[in-house]
Amino acid sequence: MLKLRPLNCYGEVCPSALVIQNRSKHWNPKFKKERRQKFMKFELPNYEEQTKGRKEKTSLDEERKKMKKEGRKHPSSFSVKPISISSTSNVLEQYVPPEGDGKTSLISKTVTKDKLSEFGKTGKSYNAIRKIKQFEEHFSSKTFPSEAIEIFKEAQKLIEDVEKNEDRLHELVTEYAYPQMTVGLDTKTMRWNFVDSIEPPRTVHCRTTDLLTKDNLYAQVTVRFHTRQTLAIYDRFGRLTYGSEDLIKDVLEFVVFEKHISDEYASWRIHSKIIPKWIPVRDPLHKTYIKPHMEPIPDEEEDKPEKEAAKA
């Protein structure tokens, strides 16, 4: 008869086997958080549903609803241009300077009297001044040019470094004039200096207009500046392309200043500059380029007969 013995009678049995585990943990337990931040989980779009929607030709509203659920923005089929109501987009009834202005005024006294009286003859300018005084009590066409020339001089000096003075420039220049004054200055260096005034600045034109509503009013004042200035423009290589810092020139300018008079916190800003048609056209700036360094290419056809003659 067979007798069964307990397993303990045979001693302790410890089976061993080589087990290979596929561990995804890093061997170094440190910097777990930093390693986790290197990876980002995101959901891939379901391309099958997109292809089905194209085949089934779903409506735009259904596509927008699906994309809204998925947290995606539907591409708009139209583009809306930004609108700024802090300034107008043109010059109101642009002032036409008389031909020869700035040349005869230095010699003849009668001409200066006639030009000073031109402002008083225009009834529209008087009506515009009355409208401005309803919002700005201390406005005067006689004292405003002295304020305008200070704005003009500060804005001209700030243009020398547009990136650094961008915030201040927007306080002195309207959104309409800012791109016109700063275009191309990113690749040029400008040096401008104000010497003195040949004639005192004076107001020659005033206009007001409304936008969207009758209560939303804007005022434009054209000021005549006859001054002496220096201007020099250098290209990106430091070469002088226009003017000179030592050459003083007489400059006649008609600058338009604008103010959103219905806005309590608005201020007078440069809006545009009137260039008369009778002024001669200036020569354009000379463009400069980098001359590429080209290595000479040997002519293979000329080298072949020389090599054949050397072999023979």
| 234 vs 286: CA distance, rounded Å | 10
Residue carrying the six token digits 């980002």: 40
Q: Two tokens at 68?
A: 């809204």
| Range 172-184 burial, b when 16+ CB lie within 10 A, else e | bbbbbbbeebeee
Q: What is the pLDDT of residue 117?
A: 53
> How large is the C-alpha radius of gyration of the chain?
39
Q: What is the pLDDT of residue 81?
A: 73
- Show the DSSP H helices in 41-139 as ranges: 47-56, 60-69, 109-121, 123-135
Report DSSP state, residue 166: H
Q: Two tokens at 233?
A: 């423009």
Residue carrying the six token digits 């735009």: 60
What residues in the chain have per-residue pLDDT under 50? 106
Residue carrying the six token digits 């201040």: 168
Q: Which of 266, 246, 226 is nearest to 135 (CA)?
A: 266
Q: How many CA atoms lie within 13 A of 309 on its CB side?
A: 5
Please give the domain boundaries of the chain with CATH numbers for all domains: 109-274 (3.10.450.240)
Residues in contact with 278: Cβ distance below 8 Å, sequence separation at least 6, in sequence order: 99, 100
Q: Which of 182, 180, 152 is nearest to 166 (CA)?
A: 182
Q: What is the pLDDT of residue 301?
A: 59
Q: Identity (one letter) of the amino acid at 96?
A: V
